[in-house]
Amino acid sequence: MELGLEGKGVLVTGASGGIGSATARVLAANGARVGVHYHANAEAARAVAAEVGGVALQADLRDEASADALVPAAVEALGRLDACVANAGAWDPEDVPVAHMTLDRWRATLDANLTATFLTARGFLRHVETTGEGSLVLVASTAGLFGEAGHADYAAAKAGIAQGLLLSLKNEIVERAPLGRVNVVAPGWTVSPMTERSLSEETIAHVTATMPLRKVATAEDVARAIAFLCSPLAAGHVTGQVITVAGGMEGRLLR
């Protein structure tokens, strides 16, 4: 399928590893020039950028000034910016029920996920006002759709992305860019550096129990869905949608 990404500029946040780096590779394979954003892992981001012919860009997306500078930096480095993938986020592997969760952890998780996505989206919406078009893809999680016991902080942040933020932005973007689109990809359990330590055989059996496709996703599975939504040809009339990449998951087992 022709995606129409040849020569396009795409910014991918959190692109130094896992889903982000896989997305950078898929986009580059389809002809896009990619801005490989990172927060702390400069070495990995520069390696990905070198591999895909892109450019590494640093920003702390929890910090307003740093986040605000990212999109203009991507435009300057790439020469244009047609799509943005707000992928950066963090998941704390420690199970902590709300009754015992500290306010510091709650705030840190929301900042790393919901606030970072808000600031990335805001920067991109300001940019598309000058171009009239563009695709914004937000990366959420099945935790935001089904909840996740022990990780209510993460689930709440991702629900905010997949519901309130998405459904507001898909209407707001067209006020600034008539052909602007906003969509969400919600991965389920995916093999990545963030999750691999938690994916024991027992865990895999548990998390795939409600999936018709009894397997954990690869980063490439998610990346291809993201690339589809970035495409002005394949997904040019798709906006306000959540694509769940989770093997048909129907919910979560309690026991």
pLDDT, residue 198, reads 64
Q: What is the pTM of this model?
A: 0.94
Task: Enumerate the domain spans of the chain.
Answer: 9-244
Q: What share of the chain is helix, strand, coil (3-state, %, to 5)?
A: 45, 15, 40
Separation CA 229–CA 81 (nearest Å): 15
Among the listed residues 38, 154, 189, 228, the single catalytic one is 154
Cβ pair 74, 127 in contact under 8 A: no
With a cut of 50, list the residues of the chain below it in pLDDT. none
Separation CA 159–CA 18 (nearest Å): 21
Predicted confidence (pLDDT) per residue in 1-29, tens digit: 799 999 999 999 999 989 999 999 999 99
In sequence order, the 6+-apart residues with CB closer than 8 A to the CB of 239 are: 170, 181, 182, 183
pLDDT, residue 107, reads 98
Choose the CATH number for 9-244 among 3.40.50.720, 3.10.560.10, 3.50.50.60, 3.20.20.140: 3.40.50.720
Predicted confidence (pLDDT) per residue in 58-90, tens digit: 999 999 999 999 999 999 999 999 999 999 999
pLDDT, residue 196, reads 63
Strands 242-245 and 179-187: parallel
Active site residue 154: yes
pLDDT, residue 254, reads 76
pLDDT, residue 215, reads 87
